[in-house]
Amino acid sequence: MKYPKVICHMLTSMNGKIDGDYMSNKECTGASKTYSQIRTEYDAQAVVYGQVTMRVGYASGVWFSSNTVILNDHREDHIALHTSYYIVSLDPMGTLAFDSNFIERKGRSSAHIIQVVSNSVSDAYLSYLRDKNISYIISESEKIDCCVLLEKLRTYFNIEKVMIAGGGLCNDSFLQQDLIDEISLVIAPLSESEKSATCFEAMDHHSMPKSFHLADVKRLDGDAVWLVYKK
């Protein structure tokens, strides 16, 4: 099975942080603007986020099971609809709530939500997703297999290019399975002292170093830098 092309595209501080006060600093404005422009130019059909990034930036809150109607025979992958752009949410335990089955952001295309959950997710949560007309993919185990996920994104939704955009645990999950074809780093001219995540955060002590080749370096406005690494 041929996987979609996978690009990890991140905005970082000089010391590799992907979150923190530096992002609201005026010196980060140029890097942030260019990061968004490059994101658009990559023209990925889907962007993958981890559970924390989704909860903070996209979900409407935490899901509670009260008043949820349980449906029968729905523990199979569910394709709610096909569209041109998707946000893929890695949420193994089924914790996120949404106001709609689409996410709207200024300057971006409307994105249909695909929830990716583990086999431990409750029937009630799957019923909630169906009621919201949200697509979902169920992992065969408690851990999400990124290889299988990419296969299903291509098979179910005809997705040929995927962007991985955080957080660090999500990024590292794809990295450790050697699924990232290209890493794009826009580095802002700022350091970050907060104990926030970096681009790749190991989920356990078995994570291995991965090597890439430097493909391009560009100096950007405002003393930022764009680095592109490829396999």
The sign of the CA dihedral 178, 230, 83, 64 is: positive
pLDDT, tens digit, for every residue of 213-223? Answer: 999 999 999 99
The answer to whether the beta carbons of residues 92 and 142 sit under 8 Å apart is: yes
pTM over 0.85: yes
Angstrom distance (rounded) from CA 155 to CA 144: 17
Count H helices and E strands in the chain, helices first: 5, 12
pLDDT, tens digit, for every residue of 132-180? Answer: 999 999 999 888 999 999 999 999 999 999 999 999 999 999 999 999 9
Angstrom distance (rounded) from CA 63 to CA 79: 21
Rounded mean pLDDT, 116-122: 94
Average pLDDT taken over every residue of the chain:
93
The sign of the CA dihedral 106, 112, 116, 117 is: positive
Q: Is 88 exposed, middle or buried (0-12, 13-18, 19+ CB in 10 A)?
A: buried
Is residue 24 predicted with pLDDT exceeding 70? Answer: yes
